[in-house]
Amino acid sequence: MKKQADLYPIRLLRRGALPLTIAPILGAALFLVALYAVAATAFPGAAAGAPTAVEGICLKQRFSETGSYTAQITPNAIRVEDDRHEYYVISKAPKWDVSIVRPKTREIFTTSHRDWCEKYEFHGMSWTTELKTPLRTTSFVKYGLPVKRCIYGSTEEVNTILVSRQEFEAKTEKTAANHAEVEYIEPPGCKMTGPVMWRMRGLRASDGVVLSIKRVIEGQGPVSCLVTEGLKCGVKIAPDVFDLPKEYKPVPFHAYLIISGQQGSNIKGLFSDYLGK
């Protein structure tokens, strides 16, 4: 957009100066005022100084328990949206409260960033909740970015989304020796945006944006539960992407807020079968 010409103040001419010199200056000033008024009517956002897009990161990821989603991340905000558009999560400066929004039911849950990181558990059935302190951390380059990899020790059980009572009994047996690997990047602002994603995956809140989570079982190889399918840096992200809807019904937290309706039905059916109800 071309920069508008500056409006310079018109000073009164001293006595004795030619009065005719005022006419072209005044005419130009009035023309610029009229031009500004037209621009303000046609482009109200520009006239009001609307915020411009900010460079950030766009991620396409797939999580084994909750499906695929897209994350848009800037230094001052994060939005994670389910690809089925059943829910999205937003957190942004300055307060960094975390909100889960479900457009189809017009519901919204909001909590503080601290409670999000410390109070709520999202995937109690997943082995990722057992990952606490890494045994070691290594660094390398991936996607053209510096990436860190945390190596965790063995977890006790394989806990997956179940399909029958028989499978539940089989899967609760202890597994062979294993370890877990978590890879993440540290873009600007990740101290606040990173924990939002770590907690969504059942992991302990940490800095950095998670790229992958996998479990390596002896004799079986790696089993991934989080995979990054696409990553773009320097993406222009409009600020209204992080706006929260108005007039949605506030609801208390429950685990089904961040899974699809079909997944929720499957899990409820599973437990009804397991409990014999």
**For range 229-243, the mean pLDDT:** 95
In a domain, 7, yes or no: no
User: What is the end-to-end Cα distance of the chain in Å, rounded?
Assistant: 65
Query: Do 179 and 221 fall within a single domain?
Result: yes
Q: Domain check: are 87 and 204 in the same one?
A: yes
Confidence at residue 254, expressed as pLDDT on a 0 to 100 scale:
77
Which of residues 151 and 49 earns the better pLDDT score?
151
Say if 219 falls within a structural domain: yes
pLDDT for the residue numbered 4: 44
Question: Is 1 among the domain residues?
Answer: no
Residues 44 and 20 in one domain: yes
Quickly list DSSP for the chain. -PPPPP-PPPPPPPTTS-GGGHHHHHHHHHHHHHHHHHHHHH-HHHHTTPPPPEEEEEEEEEETTTEEEEEEEETTEEEEEETTSS-EEEEETTT--EEEEETTTTEEEEE-HHHHHHT--S-TTSGGGG--S-SEEEEEEETTEEEEEEEE---SB-----S-HHHHHHHTSB--SEEEEEEEE--TTHHHHHHHHHHHTTPPP-SSEEEEEEEEETTTEEEEEEEEEEEEEEEEE-GGGGPPPSSPEE----GGGGS-HHHHHHHHHHHHHHTT-
In a domain, residue 2? The reply is no
Q: What does pLDDT average to over the chain?
A: 75
Which position has the higher pLDDT, 8 or 28?
28
Q: What is the mean pLDDT of residues 197-208?
A: 83
How far apart, in whole angstroms, are the C-alpha atoms of residue 194 and residue 73? Answer: 9
CA distance 45 to 106: 28
Total domains in the chain come to 2
Between 271 and 54, name the one with better pLDDT: 54
Residue of 133, 134, 132, 218 whose CA lies nearest to 175: 218
Looking only at the bridges linking them, the beta strands covering 136-142 and 98-102 are unpaired
pLDDT at 20: 45
Comparison of pLDDT for 150 and 215, the residue scoring more: 150
pLDDT in tens, 154-176: 876 544 443 444 444 544 445 56
| Integer Cα distance of 195 and 201 in angstroms | 10
Mean pLDDT for 92-118 is 94
Q: Residue 103: what pLDDT?
A: 94
Clarify whether residues 46 and 58 are in a common domain. Answer: no
Q: 189 and 68 in one domain? A: yes
Q: What is the widest separation between alpha-carbon atoms in the chain?
A: 105
CATH of the domain at 243: 2.50.20
On the question of pLDDT at 129 being above 80, the answer is: no
- How confident is the model at residue 7, as a pLDDT? 37
Residues 76 and 171 in one domain: yes
The reply to whether 38 and 70 lie within a common domain is: no
The answer to whether position 213 is within a domain reads yes
The tokens describing 145, both together, are: 């970015």
Pair (174, 200) in one structural domain: yes
Q: Whole domain around residue 39: which residue ranges?
A: 15-50
Q: What was the pLDDT predicted at 176?
A: 67
226 or 159, higher pLDDT? 226
Q: How far apart are CA 182 and CA 226, in angstroms?
A: 9
Local confidence band at 47 (pLDDT 50, 70, 90 cut-offs): very low
Q: Is residue 8 included in any domain, yes or no?
A: no
- 């992080």: which residue's tokens? 242
> Do 121 and 192 lie in a common domain?
yes
Do 20 and 127 fall within a single domain? no
Rounded-to-10 torsion of CA 237, 242, 245, 250: 150
Whether pLDDT at 73 is above 60: yes
Does residue 193 sit within a domain?
A: yes
**Are 39 and 83 in a shared domain?**
no
For residues 36 and 154, membership in a common domain is answered with no
- C-alpha gyration radius of the chain: 27
